[in-house]
Amino acid sequence: MSIFGKFIKTIEDSQPVAPVKKRSVTAVVSSQSQALQSQSDGKTVKIQSVSVEQHTVVLEAQSKAREIILEARDQVFQMKKQVENDLKDSQRKSLELQQKILREQAEITRALAETESKNIDLDKRAKEIEDFKNKLEQDREALLKTLEKSAGMTKNEAQQKLLSSLEMELSDEIEKRIKEAEETIKEKSDEKAREILTDSMLHGATDYVAEYTTSVVNLPSEDIKGRIIGKEGRNIRTYETITGVDVDFDTDVPNQIRLSCFDPVRREIARVTMERLIKDQRIQPTRIEEIYEQTKSELEKIMAVEGQKLCHAVGVYNLHPDLVKMLGRFKYRFSYGQNLIVHTLEETKIGIALANEVGADVNIVKLGCLLHDVGKIVAKTDGTHVTKGVELAKKYSVPQAAIDCIAQHHEDEPFSSVESMIVYIADAISGSRPGARHEPVEEYIDRLSNIEKVADSYPEVEKSFAIQAGREVRVIVRPEKVDDKGINTLAHDIARRLETEIAMRPGQIKVTVIRETRASDQTN
């Protein structure tokens, strides 16, 4: 029996309970009425009234119970009907799903059968093709053997004979053509090279007079020197400490003082500061510091503007701002009397012209020419301006092709590209142009002689040679006085002495110590 049937049966079994209650209540009421009637006739009416009300309540309760039972039966019927409908729908959907699965399985089985049939056909065709290929190869070998037997020579012998005959027939013609081509190429290449170099120099040549750095400040009178020195040298000590330059009052020209410092920017700030202090006449430590800070700030702005102008003039944009400021320091940097801004601009124009002529990457050449001497304004680290420039370029994420141009523009490394060679050529053209650079030959000879004197002062040294304008010194030692381990110590000692004794040296000097032994003899 279902749950709904049990529920209905329970309700039906509970129906006779109400009449039982009716009879019990009526009996009780009757007995009470009789008892009360015996006691007092005056209370009879009241008891009968109560009995009638109770009977009415019971009837209403029975009617309400029947209504509830009917409603419950109706709800149970509806719920049963709904459950049966849902069950039918579930069975129907399950059947449809099973049918769909069966259809798909049939389709998959059919597709697998078709695929298997196709694979069998493909294997059969592949085997046929392989058999046909083997047959062709056998026929080819048989035909080749027949031809070799008929001709009386092998395949290689036939090829060699054919090539030999052709070479003999064409040797004279080939030699003639090669000679003509070489002469034509030589003539055209020489002419083209002259045109390219001439055009490049025309693009780069600028009418300017090379400026020379000056560290001389003119004084209005000799009396001003005392005010610059100050009481007990207080002013001059403050000035030298703040600016980082040395002040020389003992000059050959009266009413002049000389400022000396390796850093050209620092020297320029000191010079402008000194001139402003002289005009201001208020020379004291506090005023010196104030004017120095003002001058430094102004020169930094000027260098930033000059760096932007240089970049825009050559067509290079989006460089790091710090790198642009460093390029602006070229305004106060000179190399053998040639201003670096002018030199860089001139070299870049030449490089662009050369790159356009030979079909090289103009952007790489442009960037390499612009940054090739950027290491010259770095004074805090050791090394040549080439190595310093490479480190700066890597720091600010310059393309590797441009970094190679910087590293190779003095032939410190082999050329890795056409662009690096163009940068080297453009630098050489700009630096070697008449009037571009100047150095007295006496200073050049003295610098080389002093370097060689330092190296020759050691008893182990047989002979030394200063090369590359003093950038390298090669030392030949006596093998009997120093061993292979001692040459490292000797090279270190010579390098340290050159640092202290050679004041005007061209940057970093490379010391190379060579030790060798030779044996020779002659025949009778």
- Same domain, yes or no, for 258 and 391? yes
Range of 451's domain?
441-514
Residue 417 backbone zone (phi > 0: left; psi -120 to 50: alpha; other: beta)? beta
In a domain, 342, yes or no: yes
- Same domain, yes or no, for 141 and 263? no
In a domain, 157, yes or no: no
The verdict on pTM exceeding 0.85 is no
Angle, helices 362-371 vs 340-358, to 10°: value is 160
Q: Which of 432, 459, 479 marks a domain boundary?
A: 432
Q: What is the DSSP secondary structure assignment for residue 330, as one 8-state letter? A: G
**pLDDT tens over the chain, length 524 residues:** 544 454 445 555 554 444 434 444 444 445 544 544 555 454 444 555 657 788 888 888 888 888 899 989 889 999 988 998 889 888 888 888 999 999 899 999 988 988 888 888 888 888 889 888 888 888 888 887 777 777 666 767 777 777 777 777 676 677 777 777 777 777 776 666 666 655 655 555 444 433 444 468 888 887 788 888 888 888 888 888 888 888 888 777 778 888 888 777 888 888 889 988 888 888 888 898 999 999 988 888 888 888 888 888 888 888 888 888 888 888 877 776 677 888 888 888 888 888 888 888 999 999 999 998 888 877 667 677 888 888 888 988 889 999 999 988 887 788 888 998 999 888 887 776 655 555 555 676 788 888 999 999 999 999 999 887 677 899 999 988 888 888 888 998 998 898 888 866 656 788 999 998 877 777 76
What is the CATH classification number for the domain harbouring 238?
Answer: 1.10.3210
Q: Strand order of the sheet with strand 246-248?
A: 216-218, 256-260, 246-248
- Same domain, yes or no, for 239 and 311? yes
Structure tokens at 507: 């940057």
Hey, what long-range contacts does 147-155 have (CB within 8 A, 24 or more apart)? none
Structure tokens at 125: 């065709």
Q: Which of 98, 116, 145 marks a domain boundary?
A: 145
CB 505 within 8 A of CB 468: no
- Same domain, yes or no, for 125 and 44? yes
Structural domain count, the chain: 3
Q: What is the DSSP secondary structure assignment for residue 258, as one 8-state letter? A: E
What is the CATH classification number for the domain harbouring 493?
Answer: 3.30.300.30
Contacts of 416 (CB under 8 A, 6+ apart): 404, 408
In a domain, 101, yes or no: yes
- Same domain, yes or no, for 394 and 456? no
In a domain, 124, yes or no: yes
Q: What are phi and psi of 466, to 5 degrees?
A: -90, 125
- Same domain, yes or no, for 273 and 421? yes
CB 340 within 8 A of CB 373: yes
